[in-house]
Structure 1
C-alpha cells in the first residue's frame, strides 16, 4: 500500500446537504451526516491501493463544531497518522472558505480484499 500522507476534497453546500434534507435535524445548514461523508471521502482519496483492494470504515469520531449555510465551501482534509497492518487511522479536519474549523476528528479504515469481503455478504431474504 503506497498511500500519500494526506488528501483534500472540496464541496459547496447545497440544499441536498442540509440537516433538513438528510433527516438529521430541521435546519437548512450542513448536516452532520454529509460532513462525515466528506471526511470519509478525503480518507479514501488519501489511500492508493492496488487493484483488488479497497478500504472499509470501522470507527468514526467527528465533532461538528460550526454551522455552514447553503453556498458555503467546505474543504475536508485527511492526514494519515497511523498504519498498522491493514488498519489505517486518519486525522480529519473540515474548514470553511474563511478557514474556520467546521469539524475535526479521527477515522479508522481497514484495507480488505474486495472479492473476499463481498463473498462474506449474506443474501437478503424477502
Structure 2
C-alpha cells in the first residue's frame, strides 16, 4: 500500500554545462541554463519526492507543468530543483516546484503527475 501524503519533498541538482544550456538544447542561442533543462530538473525532483512511497510496480508520468523561468543561470553554477507534494486527488498528484542557483530562485510553478502501473502503461504504449 502506498504511503503517499502531502508535504513530501524531493530535490534534484545539476551543474550548468554545455549539455544543458539553451544553445545546445535549441531553446535559445545563449550559454545559460535552458528552460527545458529546468523543467526536467523539476520533474526529477517531483519523482524523488514520491518514488519511494509508491506501491511496487507503480510509477508516475508527468501530465502538466506550468512554470516561469525568471532569471538566467551562468555556466558552471549549480541549480537545485525542489518539489513539494501539495495535493493528492485519486491518482493525480500536484506539486509546487521551484529551482534556485547560487544567487537565489530562478523559476517556480506547479507540476502534476499521474500514478500508473508501469507494466500496464508500457503494454498500452507498445500495443
1:24-63 aligned within 5 A: 24-47=27-50, 48=52, 49-63=54-68
| Superposed CA RMSD | 1.2
Q: In structure 2, what is the equivalent of residue 75 of structure 1? A: 80
SS in 2 for 1:115: helix
Structure 2 segments unaligned to the other structure (5+ residues): none
1:1-126 aligned within 5 A: 1-3=2-4, 5-47=8-50, 48=52, 49-98=54-103, 100-122=104-126
Cα offset, 1:97, TM superposition:
1.4
Cα distance in 1, alignment partners of residues 56 and 26 from structure 2 = 36
TM-score w.r.t. structure 2 length? 0.91
Cα distance in 2, alignment partners of residues 24 and 10 from structure 1 = 20
Aligned length: 122
SS in 2 for 1:116: helix
TM-score w.r.t. structure 1 length? 0.92
Moved more, 4-13 or 54-63: 4-13
Which 4+ residue blocks in structure 1 deviate beyond 4 angstroms?
A: none
Structure 1 segments unaligned to the other structure (5+ residues): none
